[in-house]
């Protein structure tokens, strides 16, 4: 679990659970949720918070790589 918290800032199950909870709000455009995560990563890069940026990118990759 500590590895997951390093990778995502939270557990893998938590990332997926958050996505599933909000997915109905996006309808067929759930990719917008993932785009938002990537925007958060860009903001972290702008603020030189590279570890947080990496965690946001890992969350996006997790959601893109899994059919959730």
Token pair of 3 as six digits: 């590895």
The dihedral built from the CA positions of residue 53, 44, 17 and 6, taken in this order, carries a sign that is positive
Residue count of the chain, please give it.
68
Token pair of 42 as six digits: 């860009």
pLDDT in tens, 4-30: 999 999 999 999 999 999 999 999 999
Domain that holds residue 58: 2-65
| Helix axes of 12-26 and 31-46: crossing angle, nearest 10 degrees | 120
User: How many domains does the chain divide into?
Assistant: 1
Q: b or e along 43-64 (b: 16 or more beta carbons within 10 Å of the residue's beta carbon)?
A: ebeeeeeeebbbbbbbbbebbe
Q: 0.85 cut: is pTM over it?
A: yes
* DSSP category for residue 54: H
Q: What is the mean pLDDT of residues 59-64?
A: 96
Per-residue pLDDT at 64 exceeds 70: yes
């Amino acid at each position: 679990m500590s590895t997951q918290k390093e990778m995502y800032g939270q557990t893998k199950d938590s990332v997926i659970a958050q996505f599933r909870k909000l997915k109905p709000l996006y309808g067929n455009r759930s990719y917008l949720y993932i785009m938002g995560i990537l925007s958060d990563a860009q903001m972290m890069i702008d603020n030189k918070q590279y570890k947080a940026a990496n965690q946001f990118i890992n969350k996006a990759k997790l959601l893109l790589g899994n059919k959730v």
